[in-house]
């Protein structure tokens, strides 16, 4: 079976890969009746990250006239791509994210702050920024030598197709940051994303 184009990378690309990952996401109906993605990569500003199973609900992936199920290797990838925890199926994680982000804001208000920081409405491209790598929190994503890397402690982990590669020493200097600036605030304030098992040798279980 041909892989569907619904796997999200930390660079914002939505690609066709057979590896589902740890989380599902939603940002509206992006596909047509044949399951093909159009030009638009979002239909509303509420980009959420959901668990793969919740209350026994079952969905036909990419069913016509229903939201496009997107998939992420792990939560750090989802955060870099601009998503936040779902307030329904991941209520405890959403509350933790909100407490680290802005405790007094409701989900739509969080989204209103996130949306201009994750996608350029005119170009439809991911919003990126430059920052000193030494000041970035654990769980953020950067571009290093043309590849997305997860930042953790004194190291960075290159993202491969379905896992993280071997850890490398955290480089110095200014880098291109993929994780939106508002999300970096939550990470700095202690929010810890769920990571893929391949990151465990460095980050712990």
Does the structure show a pLDDT above 80 at 155?
Answer: yes
Q: What is the mean pLDDT of residues 12-40?
A: 90
Query: pTM for this one?
Result: 0.95
Q: What is the mean pLDDT of residues 56-71?
A: 86
Round the average pLDDT of the chain to a whole number and report it.
Answer: 93
Sheet of strand 174-177: strand arrangement = 129-132, 174-177, 141-144, 147-152, 155-158, 168-169
Look at residue 205 in the predicted model and tell me its pLDDT: 64
* CB neighbourhood size of 183 (10 A): 31
Across the strands, what pairs with 50? 24
């Amino acid at each position: 079976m041909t892989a569907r184009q619904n796997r999200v990378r930390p660079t914002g690309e939505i690609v066709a890969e057979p590896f589902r990952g740890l989380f599902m996401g939603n940002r509206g109906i992006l596909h047509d009746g044949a399951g093909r993605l159009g030009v638009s990569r979002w239909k509303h500003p509420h980009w959420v990250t959901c668990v793969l199973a919740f209350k026994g609900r079952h969905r036909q992936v990419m069913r016509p006239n229903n939201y496009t199920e997107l998939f992420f290797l792990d939560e750090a990838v989802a955060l870099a791509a601009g998503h936040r925890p779902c307030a329904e199926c991941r209520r405890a994680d959403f509350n933790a994210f909100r407490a680290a982000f802005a405790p007094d804001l409701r989900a739509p208000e969080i989204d209103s702050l996130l949306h201009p920081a994750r996608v350029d409405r005119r170009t439809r491209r991911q919003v990126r920024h430059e920052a000193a790598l030494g000041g970035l929190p654990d769980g953020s994503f950067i571009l290093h030598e043309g590849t997305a890397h997860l930042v953790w402690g004194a190291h960075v982990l290159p993202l491969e197709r379905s896992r993280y590669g071997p850890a490398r020493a955290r480089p110095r200097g200014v880098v291109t940051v993929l994780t939106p600036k508002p999300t970096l605030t939550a990470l700095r304030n202690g929010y810890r994303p769920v990571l893929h098992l391949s990151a465990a040798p460095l980050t712990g279980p």
